[in-house]
Chain A
Amino acid sequence: NAGVTQTPKFRILKIGQSMTLQCAQDMNHNYMYWYRQDPGMGLKLIYYSVGAGITDKGEVPNGYNVSRSTTEDFPLRLELAAPSQTSVYFCASSTALGYEQYFGPGTRLTVT
């Protein structure tokens, strides 16, 4: 049981490039989330999903897109990367909204 996995662990992007951050969970959780954590700040919710085919915006969705075609996978797409998107990105999953969430190890992204 791997829990929540994220790839890649690190990535450097140039301004204007695009990339997809991968997230997968093997706990059969319906709810999945993407957060970003900036230095000295808490986790900010980017997007979340309550099940396959259903996604919704969180607190800071601008510049990102998501899709949820299966229960297991929840990729986060960055289009036209900007320096403001330099952050650590965490994916999480849970059995219900608002309760204990299980987090992946994170992806550290630098945009220069």
Chain B
Amino acid sequence: DQQVKQNSPSLSVQEGRISILNCDYTNSMFDYFLWYKKYPAEGPTFLISISSIKDKNEDGRFTVFLNKSAKHLSLHIVPSQPGDSAVYFCAASANQGGKLIFGQGTELSVKP
């Protein structure tokens, strides 16, 4: 039972354009969502998060949008840069104290 799903295994974007990574979840108890970025041969690093009381959180070039009714969140990267090429994982937790549940990841490739 995959509670957090990233249905696109890969995404290719031109440098300077917008990258949109999507994530769907099934558990309505999830109330905190995070995005992690992972380079090859490294551990994931925290990127941005959002609480369920918000529908948007922005940090520089990165914005996360949360649509609770659709149980969907997305990460927007504007403008995309070649250094953004990595695997992006979304994760969710319930009751702001539950364990993190990770999606399968989306590999983003930003081409110069």
Contact = CB atoms under 8 A, between A and B. Distances in A.
Judged by DSSP, the binding face of B is loop
Contacts, number: 61
A97 interface: yes
Contacts of A42: 4, 6, 89, 102-105
A60 interface: no
A58 to B, nearest CB: 7
Interface magnitude class on chain B: 20 to 34
Contacts of A48: 99
Interface of A: 4, 35, 40-45, 48, 58, 90, 92, 96-106
7 contacts: A35-B102, A42-B102, A45-B99, A97-B97, A99-B32, A103-B36, A103-B45
Interface of B: 4, 6, 9, 32, 34, 36, 41-46, 49, 89, 93-100, 102-105
